[in-house]
């Protein structure tokens, strides 16, 4: 600890020297903890890339430099909590951003509360009684509601569910069972599988035996393609629905033809170029893509990197207001409090996924403008209004 | 559940079971010769699958870099040993065996990449590419502690798994891949449900391969040498069987099996950089049912695990593995009861 | 503990006590994590290192306790201290049930079964609604002492480390006591333990539960310091990580748990700081770098860090802590049967191994105060006969009566407790334990102190009695001056004599000796003969298998000769020597 702290100081000093005589005023510090390894890394790695993009897109706030510190939580909630402690206590960050996986995000939120440091979550989670935390991701309910509305429009009466046997699978299922009955749709099956299962034949057979009009899937990334493949192979003819967790190019690659025609709810960033010209998030979403390409030398094609980009935008907006509202310097408890209050008074900040309005007592800050329904057609996401 | 469903589940179970079967045989092969429960086995299978996926997309498989790195480390380890023993005269041989030999499949893989060759070229290249991995990592990390207790060897093997899956994440990224089926099309089961030809191919290959494996062990000199080493290490050494060489042979054989598994399952399931662990774990279950010694019992155990898993996923997907491992405990009790009652003293730990 | 060891221990305690004064809050928090991890690793050193039971499921016990306390305190608003009791009860009961089901498994089956239940339990957490399914339970109340709430890392630190210290002290005491010696003998096999009247299964079970309870305390601390629980910190990967800690520290020493946990957390934290400086993708290299460092450690110190240290001359677990010299009454001795009364009667003993008949309808009897020799050519079935008499092997047919009781179907340890003590043809000693401790094992059945009393040092008087008894027996065989050496350092012949001392510590009525003179030199044999005659004079009866004819003929009162599993003849040495059948079958042309 002592040694590693010395190393950190040395590194910080070297970094400062390299940056030449920088700003005299204290830099803002952002602590990002994401899953760069382990089962959640398919979300965590894009999160980190999106954050690097954001740093390049908006490196200064009110003339102050922003330092970004990235830690890996290896998809482990305990490590996520420890990382949050490290970022707060050792690095004295002004804001925490993270992470993939609900349990890990919950662990971070607990520490954020204890350490009186604002946290911007990039995953849909709902910490109870925690005034220090907001989330830029859409609430799962909002996204699933859109899917249910579409099912209703398509005349679906019964739906079978298949999702991950993890927190994400639970969230989507809970959201589905909450609104489906009000739309006159009954949920007839709740099947689960693990991310690295080899097959879901058993689960899918059970669903097919119930003859539901449609199947809703609660997976994410490439492992989320497994039910699509099994349903296609076993000759299921009904509609298949999904949600934003599934949306990335690797899903299309793995699902192949089996994913064709699937309807999913997602943030508008995925189909930014197809949005009407006056859509509020269109401009920033296209700018994000451009910046992403420049920083990561690859096009942005997933929803996750955009979340961390949005988190940065929310932070930047709040920090700018906090800096002008208070005399407190970044790195102090007073500033963190001011920043939290500023985040809670966020008004119409336009991000890639939606338009953000946070208020005290609520975790989420997006509305219907943060969701669209897209259809997978021949390997492309098509806006399906 | 009706008969159609049972039939489909059985076919699915046999398909997964055949993967565990091949992996289980590999584990037993390696354990019986070296006393190492070779956890990275599954990772090597995953590397083969992901290499094949890379060939199909026309990119150079990063596995080449991995193999070359491991080969250079092994050469360094060997040379260091020669220096200490002052046997530098053997240097050309060492360079040949540990440097050039592993580089050959890399060269082949590099040549295959991006050319419009028939699919089989990529498949063969993927299998060959992973063959050096097990012997190399074993040479680097396990041979120096070959006489340690089984527990220490197991822990080292676990560390190797963490190493390989970490490298897998770096090289292949977090998302999974599927490859084109080796045989296209599907056949229809009596109930009207389709079964892909690839699944049938998997089951058939497992039967053929395990048969070959059995013959190899029963009929050839190398097979007999392996078995002799398994039964009595000291005795084998006395009759002139070199344990290091048989170990390398066992690792090579295991690696080859892993490569075959990789290309066989990649078309029917999505393979991730970390898919190997759970395959290895279930194969390990089968191997233990076989007492880490008996090939036929291992095969039986593997198919049983596949079937239980398939049916359990129908009854409760979320608790599938609870079923699999829950039923394991009574099986273990039975096996333990039937196993020889000779009192065994536990191995002492290393200090 | 050696003096050097004590100094080091005192220095570590002092450093730990002062750490929060100099370290930052995060570092203190990290040390808290070390303490919590070290508790689990301590259980693993005990279970795997000492007891030889490899567990891949310890994290499941951590989870049971963490969830139990979290559930009780969040849904029922109970105090975390009440949560501790509930957590320990839940862990203890689960461990007991799992242990009863699986601890009879042998070989590789046992570690696999730990994977099975370890994996299943962590999967179950995510599927129980009351436990918050996969999202877990949050807002767990912090620990409190009186009205003081322990929310800061510094305040919890002074709870976690004293708890670890107490646990360490408890386990250290335990290992140097009667039940501890039984635990340390587990690797020697169930027969060894049964031969001193101990039930290996029960010893295993208590050991298993103890390790689980240590994991339970750790889980309780985890729940109330992290204040959030979810399934994944208790899965197979976490169990493997605890095992890595124990191995990195050294399974051979208790201190290995502390060193290992410290090493793993420190290295991981340093890697997290260092790697990003080296590479853009540093964050992803943590696991790879950790695995490499771990492999390097194993190459250079397969016994872990502590193995490395102890090679440079430090103490081992169970380096004897000598009890303070305070006179204690000697252990009670049983009353021996009067010489000449019937002692042992074997009637029609039969033993099959599959189709092979090893012992075929053998009958003989012996009286108290006799030395009876059992002889016969190699493969005559003598050792099998011994195993039947002592209950080590079950008989296929026949009856054995000892001290007027039918012991034909009695388990070995009951027979041992009746007063039949044995030695083994293939020596069963604990090579890494001192001579004294090996002999002290023999007094197991004569003493009572259990794990709890021993761990809390409430066993001092009894331990001293055992110590005195063991020293008395070592003096009897002439090895008192080497009492603190490792048994493994003795020549094989002398090890056989040491087994006699262990048997004598059980205060036997009948001593059953399997080839005690093998490997001894001439003077040593003479001394052994002298010792056995003295024992007979003290009223102990002896049944002996021996190949050295000269030695047997001079020693015994009567001989039983076996050949091809059957009894050939029985009688005084001179008579047997003269018997034609014996001569042709066994002694050949050299009467």
> Are C89 and C118 in the same domain?
yes
The larger pLDDT score, comparing residue A307 to residue A15, is at A307
Distances (CA, A) of B319 to A207, B17, C128: 17, 19, 11
Is the Cβ of C231 closer than 8 Å to some Cβ of chain A?
A: yes
* CB-based contact C373:C546 (threshold 8 Å): yes
Has domain A26-138+287-368 been given CATH number 3.40.50.2300? yes
pLDDT 10s digits, A233-280: 888 999 999 999 898 888 999 998 999 999 999 999 999 999 999 999
- Which of A14, A75, A82 has the most C C-beta neighbours within 10 Å, making it the best mutation to test the interface with C? A82
Structural domain boundaries, residue C482 = 432-507
Of C452, C474, C507, which marks where a domain is finished?
A: C507
| Residue C314 in this model has a pLDDT that exceeds 50 | no
Distance between CA atoms of residues A146 and A138, nearest Å: 12
Distance between CA atoms of residues A272 and A265, nearest Å: 14
Query: Is C318 within the bounds of a domain?
Result: no
Is the Cβ of C293 closer than 8 Å to some Cβ of chain B?
A: no
Distance between CA atoms of residues A369 and A359, nearest Å: 17
Predicted pLDDT of residue C317: 45
The distance in angstroms from the start CA to the end CA of chain A is 55
* CB-based contact A374:A383 (threshold 8 Å): yes
Q: Which chains touch C (3 or more CB pairs under 8 A)?
A: A, B
Distance from CA of B66 to the nearest CA of C (A): 13
Distance between CA atoms of residues A285 and A350, nearest Å: 10
Query: Is C586 within the bounds of a domain?
Result: yes
Return the percentage of chain A with pLDDT > 90, whole number: 74
Q: How confident is the model at residue B336 (pLDDT cuts 50, 70, 90)?
A: confident
> Are C90 and C116 in the same domain?
yes
Predicted pLDDT of residue A22: 42
Torsion-angle region of C391 (φ positive above 0: left; ψ -120 to 50: alpha; else: beta):
left
> Are C231 and C116 in the same domain?
yes
Q: Which residues of C touch B167 (CB under 8 A)?
A: 288
pLDDT 10s digits, C180-216: 999 999 988 889 999 999 999 999 999 999 999 999 9
Distance between CA atoms of residues B242 and A289, nearest Å: 60
Query: Is C397 within the bounds of a domain?
Result: yes
DSSP C465-502: HHHHHHHHHHHHHT-GGGTTSBGGGS-HHHHHHHHHHH
At residue A372, the 3 state secondary structure works out as: strand
> Are C256 and C197 in the same domain?
yes
CA C5 to chain centre: 23
Query: Is C578 within the bounds of a domain?
Result: yes
Query: Is C162 within the bounds of a domain?
Result: yes
Q: Which residues of B touch A165 (CB under 8 A)?
A: 317-318
pLDDT 10s digits, B92-134: 888 888 889 999 999 999 998 888 888 889 999 999 999 999 9
Inter-chain CB proximity A114 and C151 less than 8 Å: yes
Is the Cβ of C37 closer than 8 Å to some Cβ of chain A?
A: no
Query: Is C496 within the bounds of a domain?
Result: yes
- ipTM for this model: 0.91
* Run of H or E including C162: helix C153-175
Distance from CA of C282 to the nearest CA of A (A): 9
Is the Cβ of A129 closer than 8 Å to some Cβ of chain C?
A: yes
Q: Which residues of B touch C106 (CB under 8 A)?
A: 336, 339, 344
Q: How confident is the model at residue A106 (pLDDT cuts 50, 70, 90)?
A: very high
Q: What are phi and psi of C254, to 5 degrees?
A: -60, -40
Predicted pLDDT of residue B186: 78
Average pLDDT, chain B: 86
Our count of domains for chain C comes to 3
- Which of A36, A75, A196, A250 has the most B C-beta neighbours within 10 Å, making it the best mutation to test the interface with B? A196
Inter-chain CB proximity C226 and A76 less than 8 Å: no
Residues in chain C: 591
Is the Cβ of C15 closer than 8 Å to some Cβ of chain A?
A: no
> Are C248 and C382 in the same domain?
no
pLDDT 10s digits, C111-140: 889 999 999 999 999 999 999 989 899 889
Which of A202, A253, A254 comes nearest B313 by C-beta? A202
Distance between CA atoms of residues B303 and B285, nearest Å: 11
Q: Report the CATH number that the domain containing residue C529 is assigned in CATH.
A: 3.40.50.300
Question: In chain C, which residue's Cα lies nearest the Cα of B37?
Answer: C108
Predicted pLDDT of residue B18: 92
What is the layout of strands, in order, in the sheet containing A214-218? A186-193, A158-164, A214-218, A239-242, A263-266, A372-377, A380-383
pLDDT 10s digits, A42-99: 889 999 999 999 999 999 998 899 999 999 998 999 999 999 999 999 999 999 998 8
Distance between CA atoms of residues C478 and C472, nearest Å: 10
- Closest of C386, C395, C442 to residue C192, by C-alpha: C442
Q: What are phi and psi of C420, to 5 degrees?
A: -110, 115
- Full-model pTM: 0.93
Predicted pLDDT of residue C312: 58
| Residue A23 in this model has a pLDDT that exceeds 50 | no
Q: How confident is the model at residue C591 (pLDDT cuts 50, 70, 90)?
A: very low
- Closest of C310, C330, C325 to residue C486, by C-alpha: C310
Question: In chain C, which residue's Cα lies nearest the Cα of A88?
Answer: C26
> Are C243 and C295 in the same domain?
yes
| Residue C318 in this model has a pLDDT that exceeds 50 | no
* Run of H or E including C571: strand C566-571
Q: Which residues of B touch A302 (CB under 8 A)?
A: none
> Are C403 and C548 in the same domain?
yes
Q: Which fold has domain A140-266?
A: Rossmann fold (3.40.50)
Which of C30, C133, C274 comes nearest A1 by C-beta? C30
> Are C273 and C350 in the same domain?
no
> Are C248 and C393 in the same domain?
no
Return the percentage of chain C with pLDDT > 90, whole number: 66
Query: Is C321 within the bounds of a domain?
Result: no
pLDDT 10s digits, C80-93: 999 999 999 999 99
Question: In chain A, which residue's Cα lies nearest the Cα of B162?
Answer: A38
Those of residues 555-584 in C touching chain B at CB distance below 8 A are: none
How many beta carbons lie within 10 A of that of residue B267, not counting itself? 22
What's the mean pLDDT in C330-348?
A: 91
Distance between CA atoms of residues C195 and C205, nearest Å: 19
Question: In chain C, which residue's Cα lies nearest the Cα of A104?
Answer: C230
- Closest of A180, A190, A134 to residue A157, by C-alpha: A180
Strand partners, C367: C342
Of C507, C532, C559, which marks where a domain is finished?
A: C507
Q: Which chains touch A (3 or more CB pairs under 8 A)?
A: B, C
Predicted pLDDT of residue C61: 97
Q: List where CATH 3.40.50.2300 sits in chain A.
A: 26-138+287-368, 140-266
* CB-based contact B165:B276 (threshold 8 Å): yes
Query: Is C426 within the bounds of a domain?
Result: no
Q: Which residues of C touch A103 (CB under 8 A)?
A: 134-136, 228, 230-232
> Are C346 and C475 in the same domain?
no
Dihedral of the alpha carbons of B312, B318, B323, B325, in degrees to the nearest 10: 130
Q: Which residues of C touch A70 (CB under 8 A)?
A: 276, 283
> Are C384 and C514 in the same domain?
yes
Q: How confident is the model at residue A21 (pLDDT cuts 50, 70, 90)?
A: very low
What's the mean pLDDT in C305-311?
A: 78
pLDDT 10s digits, A326-372: 888 899 999 999 999 999 999 999 999 999 999 998 899 999 999 99
* Run of H or E including C439: helix C435-441
Task: Establish, for the pair of chains B and C, how many residue pairs have beta carbons separated by less than 8 Å.
Answer: 144
Which of C222, C227, C273 comes nearest A110 by C-beta? C227
Average pLDDT, chain C: 90
DSSP A277-311: TT-TTHHHHHHHHHHHHHHHSS---SSHHHHHHHH
Distance between CA atoms of residues C446 and C196, nearest Å: 9
Please tell me the least confidently modeled range out of A154-168, A225-239, A263-277, C320-334.
C320-334
Q: Report the CATH number that the domain containing residue C48 is assigned in CATH.
A: 1.10.3470
Predicted pLDDT of residue C115: 93
Residue C145 burial by CB count (10 A; 0-12/13-18/19+): exposed, middle or buried?
Answer: exposed
pLDDT 10s digits, C46-61: 999 999 899 999 999 9
What's the mean pLDDT in B180-197?
A: 76
Is the Cβ of A197 closer than 8 Å to some Cβ of chain B?
A: yes
Predicted pLDDT of residue B28: 87
* CB-based contact A99:A73 (threshold 8 Å): yes
Predicted pLDDT of residue C273: 87
Q: Which residues of A touch B321 (CB under 8 A)?
A: 194
Q: How confident is the model at residue C503 (pLDDT cuts 50, 70, 90)?
A: very high
* CB-based contact C136:C127 (threshold 8 Å): no
Please, what is the Cα angle at C280 between C279 and C284, to 5 degrees? 85
Domain boundaries, chain B: 3-173+189-338
> Are C344 and C399 in the same domain?
yes
* CB-based contact C253:C234 (threshold 8 Å): no
Please tell me the least confidently modeled range out of B33-37, B86-90, C139-143, C280-284.
C280-284
Q: Which residues of A touch C226 (CB under 8 A)?
A: 78, 81, 107, 110
């Amino acid at each position: 600890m002592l040694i590693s702290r010395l190393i950190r100081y040395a590194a910080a000093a070297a970094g400062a020297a390299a940056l030449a005589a920088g700003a005299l005023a204290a830099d803002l510090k952002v602590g990002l903890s994401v899953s760069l390894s382990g089962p959640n890394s398919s979300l965590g790695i894009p999160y980190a890339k999106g954050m690097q993009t954001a740093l390049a897109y908006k490196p200064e706030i009110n003339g102050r430099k922003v330092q970004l510190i990235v830690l890996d939580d290896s998809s482990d909630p305990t490590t996520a909590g420890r990382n949050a402690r490290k970022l707060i206590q050792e690095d004295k960050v002004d804001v925490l951003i993270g992470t993939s996986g609900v349990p890990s995000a919950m662990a971070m939120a607990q520490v954020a509360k204890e350490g009186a440091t604002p946290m911007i979550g990039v995953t849909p989670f709902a910490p109870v009684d925690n005034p220090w935390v907001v989330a830029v991701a859409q609430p799962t309910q909002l996204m699933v509601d859109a899917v249910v509305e579409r099912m209703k429009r398509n005349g679906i009466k019964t739906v079978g569910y298949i999702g991950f046997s993890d927190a994400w699978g639970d969230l989507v299922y809970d959201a589905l069972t909450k609104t489906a009955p009000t739309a006159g749709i009954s949920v007839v099956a709740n099947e689960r599988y693990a991310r690295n299962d080899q097959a879901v034949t058993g689960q899918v057979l059970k669903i097919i035996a119930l003859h539901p009009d449609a199947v809703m899937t609660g997976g994410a990334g490439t492992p989320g393609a497994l039910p699509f493949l099994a349903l296609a192979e076993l000759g299921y003819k009904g509609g298949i629905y999904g949600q934003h967790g599934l949306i990335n190019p690797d899903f299309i690659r793995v699902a192949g033809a089996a994913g064709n025609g699937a309807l999913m709810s997602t943030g508008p960033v995925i189909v930014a170029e197809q949005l009407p010209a006056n859509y509020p998030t269109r401009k920033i979403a296209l700018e994000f893509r451009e910046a992403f390409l420049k920083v990561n030398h690859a096009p942005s094609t997933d929803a996750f990197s955009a979340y961390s980009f949005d988190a940065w935008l929310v932070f930047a907006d709040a920090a700018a207001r906090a800096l002008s509202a208070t005399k407190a310097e970044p790195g102090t408890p007073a500033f963190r409090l001011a920043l939290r209050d500023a985040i809670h008074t966020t008004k119409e900040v336009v991000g890639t996924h939606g338009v953000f309005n946070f208020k005290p007592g609520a975790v989420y800050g997006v509305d219907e403008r943060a969701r669209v329904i897209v259809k997978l057609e021949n390997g492309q996401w098509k806006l399906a209004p | 559940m009706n008969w159609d469903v049972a039939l489909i589940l059985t076919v699915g179970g046999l398909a997964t079971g055949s993967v565990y079967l091949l992996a289980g045989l590999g584990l037993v092969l390696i354990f019986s010769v070296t006393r190492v429960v070779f956890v990275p086995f599954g990772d090597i299978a995953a590397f083969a699958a992901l290499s094949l996926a890379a060939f199909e997309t026309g990119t150079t498989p990063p596995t080449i870099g991995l193999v070359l790195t491991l080969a250079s480390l092994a050469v360094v380890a060997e040379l260091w040993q020669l220096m200490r023993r002052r046997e530098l005269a053997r240097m050309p041989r060492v360079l040949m065996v540990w440097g050039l030999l592993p580089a050959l499949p890399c060269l082949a893989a590099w040549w295959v990449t991006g050319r419009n060759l028939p699919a089989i070229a990529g498949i063969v290249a993927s299998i060959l590419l992973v063959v050096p991995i097990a012997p190399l990592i074993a040479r680097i990390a396990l041979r120096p502690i070959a006489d340690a207790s089984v527990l220490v060897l197991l822990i080292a093997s676990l560390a190797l798994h963490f190493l390989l899956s970490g490298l897998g994440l770096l090289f292949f990224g977090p998302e999974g891949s599927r490859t084109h089926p080796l045989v296209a099309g599907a056949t229809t089961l009596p109930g009207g449900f389709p079964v892909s030809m690839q699944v049938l191919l998997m089951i058939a290959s497992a039967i053929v391969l395990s048969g070959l494996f059995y013959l190899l062990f029963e009929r050839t000199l190398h097979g007999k040498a392996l078995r002799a080493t398994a039964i009595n290490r000291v005795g084998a050494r006395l009759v002139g069987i070199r344990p290091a060489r048989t170990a390398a042979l066992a690792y090579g054989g295991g690696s080859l099996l892993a490569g075959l598994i990789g290309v066989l399952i990649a078309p029917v399931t999505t393979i991730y950089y970390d898919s190997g662990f759970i395959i290895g774990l279930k194969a390990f279950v089968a191997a233990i049912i076989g007492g880490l010694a008996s090939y036929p019992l291992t095969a039986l155990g593997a198919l049983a695990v596949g079937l239980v898993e398939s049916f359990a996923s129908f009854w409760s997907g979320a608790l599938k593995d609870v079923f699999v491992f829950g039923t394991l405990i009574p099986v273990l009790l039975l096996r333990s009861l039937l196993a020889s009652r000779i009192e065994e003293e536990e191995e002492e730990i290393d200090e | 503990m050696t003096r050097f060891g004590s100094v080091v221990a005192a220095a570590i305690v002092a450093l730990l006590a002062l750490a929060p004064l100099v370290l930052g809050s995060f570092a203190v928090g990290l040390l808290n994590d070390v303490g919590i991890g070290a508790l689990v690793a301590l259980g693993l050193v005990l279970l795997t290192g000492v007891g030889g039971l490899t567990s891949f499921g310890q994290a499941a016990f951590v989870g049971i306790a963490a969830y139990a306390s979290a559930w009780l305190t969040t849904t029922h608003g109970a105090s975390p201290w009440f949560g501790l009791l509930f957590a320990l009860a839940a862990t203890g009961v689960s461990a007991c049930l799992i242990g009863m089901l699986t601890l009879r498994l042998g070989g590789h089956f046992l570690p696999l079964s730990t994977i099975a239940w370890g994996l299943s339990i962590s999967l179950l957490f995510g599927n129980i609604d009351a436990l918050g399914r996969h999202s877990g339970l949050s807002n767990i109340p912090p620990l409190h002492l009186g009205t003081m709430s322990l929310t800061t890392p510094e305040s919890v630190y002074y709870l976690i480390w004293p708890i670890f210290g107490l646990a360490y002290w408890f386990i250290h005491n335990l290992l140097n006591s009667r039940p501890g010696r039984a635990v340390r003998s587990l690797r020697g096999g169930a027969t060894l333990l049964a031969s001193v009247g101990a039930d290996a299964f029960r010893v295993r079970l208590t050991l298993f539960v103890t390790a689980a309870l240590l994991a339970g305390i750790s889980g309780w601390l985890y729940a109330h310091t992290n204040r959030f629980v979810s399934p994944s910190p208790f899965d197979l990967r976490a169990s493997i990580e605890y095992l890595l800690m124990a191995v990195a520290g050294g399974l051979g020493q208790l201190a290995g748990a502390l060193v290992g946990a410290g090493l793993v957390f420190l290295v991981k934290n340093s890697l997290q700081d260092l790697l990003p400086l080296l590479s853009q993708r540093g964050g992803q290299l943590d696991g790879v770098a950790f695995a490499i460092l771990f492999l390097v450690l194993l190459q250079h110190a397969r016994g872990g860090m502590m193995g490395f240290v102890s090679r440079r001359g430090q103490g081992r677990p169970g380096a004897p802590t000598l009890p303070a010299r305070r006179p204690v009454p000697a252990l009670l001795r049983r009353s021996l049967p009067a010489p000449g009364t019937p002692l042992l009667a074997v009637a029609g003993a039969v033993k099959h191994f599959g189709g092979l008949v090893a012992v075929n309808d053998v009958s003989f009897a012996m009286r108290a105060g006799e030395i009876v020799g059992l002889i016969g050519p190699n493969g005559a079935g003598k050792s099998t006969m011994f195993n039947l008499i002592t209950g080590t092997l079950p008989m296929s047919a026949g009856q054995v009566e000892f001290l007027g009781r039918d012991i034909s179907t009695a388990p070995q340890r009951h027979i041992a407790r009746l007063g039949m003590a044995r030695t083994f043809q293939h020596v069963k000693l604990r090579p890494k334990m001192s001579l004294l401790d090996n002999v002290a094992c023999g007094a197991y059945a004569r003493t009572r102190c259990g794990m709890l009393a021993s761990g809390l040092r409430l066993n001092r008087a009894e331990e001293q009695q055992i110590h005195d008894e063991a020293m008395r027996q070592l003096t009897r065989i002439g090895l008192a001056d080497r009492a603190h050496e490792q048994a493994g350092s003795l020549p094989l012949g002398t090890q056989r004599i040491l087994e006699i001392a262990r048997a004598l510590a059980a205060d036997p009525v009948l001593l059953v000796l399997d080839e005690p003179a093998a490997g001894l030199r001439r003077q040593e044999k003479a001394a052994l003969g002298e010792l056995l005659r003295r024992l007979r004079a003290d009223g102990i009866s002896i049944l002996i298998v021996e190949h050295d004819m000269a030695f047997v003929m001079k020693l015994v009162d009567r001989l039983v000769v076996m050949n091809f599993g059957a009894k050939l003849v029985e009688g005084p040495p001179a008579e047997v020597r003269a018997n034609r059948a014996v001569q042709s079958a066994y002694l050949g042309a050299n009467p």
